[in-house]
Amino acid sequence: MASERPNLLYIMSDQHTQRVTGCYADRIVQTPFLDHLARRGVVFENAYTASPLCLPARMSALTACYPVNQACWTNSDVLASDRPTMAHALGAAGYQPILIGRLHAIGPDQLHGFVRREVGDHSTNWVGGRRHDMGALDKSNDPFRVSLRKSGAGQSAYELHDVDVTRSACAVLEEIAGRRRAGDRGPFCLSIGYMLPHQPYVAGREEYNLYLGKVGPPELPAPDPGSEHPYLRWWREYTDTQSVTTQETIRARTAYYGLATRLDALIGRALDTLDRLDLAENTLVVYTSDHGDQIGERGLWWKQTFYDESTKVPLILSWPGRLPEAERRVQVVGLTDLTQTILEAAGAPALPNADGHSFLAVARDDNHPWIDETFSEYCTDAMESWAGIVPVQQRMIRTRRWKLNYYHGHPPQLFDMTQDPRETKDLAGEPPFASIRDALQARVLAEWDPGAIAQQMMRRRHDKELLAAWCRTVNPPEVYRWRLCMEDNWLSE
């Protein structure tokens, strides 16, 4: 019946840059399951993360709030337990939200509204908790040059984590089907959190060989030192990526493509299980990622930038009979908007005090009015070694035509996304565009004070340092942590 609440299957991967997906016109990558999902639903071409960093992006997606309004900017920030999340809203509407896999929340609350969680995260639950040991791939999961040197064919524990996540998700779907056969007709709500294709840039031999000799160098070369934005120049210097060898570049990119295909196959297992168990009817399936990956474009790697390779994410919504099939949308949306969209589709209460807005009407009708505006933030507190010793406060605004990147203490960047979708010509210093630059910068700073954010983050850093000392002394239990074995990480060459 049209009035019945839908089932929800929400899949979020980690660091999947939008363009490395077949349905987003990549001519090399093989992602047949995501491509099939796209043919059965609506593809959003301009979907953005609220932060090009894992934890703040995920906490923003949970709360429908930008980092400034949910106070998580770094991978060691704790989301307040009394902050309503999508899972809380779904629970209030009568769902029993289940999470399998990655949440990447830090602190004592490892559920944030989910009533059941399986597999857990590969990383610590606590500020200052014991780091996972990547063995032979040590540090290659962080933004260090070693991630390019230690790349190629092999195995990372991240892939094994996702295998366990898929196995558990399929088992839960079997449970749901069993309850259906016993007469339970209540809607289910299942979220699946994957790690792939996050670095290490290490793919299984089969997937790596699939792209060997097929993946070329980046399309966009590193800029001349004299023309590079000063912050980005510093970032490349700090991460020792000013001069990456061709061998490293091709090897890491080839592995990334292999990881994207491996992720697709795992998602395919879950989707096939959904279909096989006759659970697809009236099920809203959502696929997205927390952020993207530069994969060498412009001489940049990982995320941590506002270029589209880093901030733009894949977003596919499929809902048989309730959303169009094989349609695309060019409207600018954010993951904060996605949260409110899912809640509207589920008949759940919208999250109060949220920044996001539901675009469900846009998904149904391309001509429906929309705001075409979203923001992304990247702020650091110098607590994590890879981030550098000088905290930064940065924010991006994307509208239908323009993107402005604000770097506190540095000049902004301005791109005409209609005429220059690959962001190759910075117009911020061009006099004809000064009024556009100033208006967008004013919009960025309207309710976002970089000085106040820096002070708040420094106060919280002192709190986190004490919490970390407590954790090292007390050694609290890791309740929702997947067992990562260092020996499961290796390179075959």
Looking at the domain assignment, is residue 207 inside a domain? yes
What is the C-alpha to C-alpha distance for residues 276 and 290, in angstroms, rounded to an integer? 28
Looking at the domain assignment, is residue 1 inside a domain? no
Return the percentage of the chain with pLDDT > 90, whole number. 96
* pLDDT for residue 1 is more than 80: no
Looking at the domain assignment, is residue 2 inside a domain? no
What is the C-alpha to C-alpha distance for residues 247 and 458, in angstroms, rounded to an integer? 41
Structure tokens at 43: 């593809």
pTM value is 0.97
The pLDDT-based confidence of 153 (bands split at 50, 70, 90) is very high
The H or E element containing residue 99 is strand 98-101
Q: What average pLDDT does this structure show over 211-217?
A: 97
Closest CA to 42 of 287, 282, 270, 267: 287
Contact 70, 60 (CB under 8 A): yes
* pLDDT for residue 171 is more than 80: yes
* pLDDT for residue 423 is more than 90: yes
Q: Are strands 490-491 and 42-48 parallel, antiparallel or unpaired?
A: unpaired
3-7, 107-111, 313-317, 353-357, range with the lowest pLDDT: 3-7
Average pLDDT across the chain, whole number: 96
**Helices H / strands E in the chain, number of each:** 14, 16
Looking at the domain assignment, is residue 414 inside a domain? yes
Query: Cis before residue 217, ω within 30 degrees of 0?
Result: no
Contact 260, 29 (CB under 8 A): yes
Looking at the domain assignment, is residue 284 inside a domain? yes
What is the number of structural domains in the chain? 1
Contact 408, 73 (CB under 8 A): no
Q: What average pLDDT does this structure show over 115-138?
A: 96
Looking at the domain assignment, is residue 337 inside a domain? yes
Q: Which residues pair with 46 in a beta bridge?
A: 332
Looking at the domain assignment, is residue 39 inside a domain? yes
Q: What average pLDDT does this structure show over 169-173?
A: 98
* Residue 129: domain span: 7-491
Q: How many Cβ atoms are within 10 Å of 163's Cβ, its own excluded?
A: 14
pLDDT of residue 225: 79
Q: List the CATH number of the domain containing 249.
A: 3.40.720.10
Letter for the amino acid at 389? I
Q: Which residues pair with 375 in a beta bridge?
A: 397
Helices (H), 350-449: 360-364, 434-445
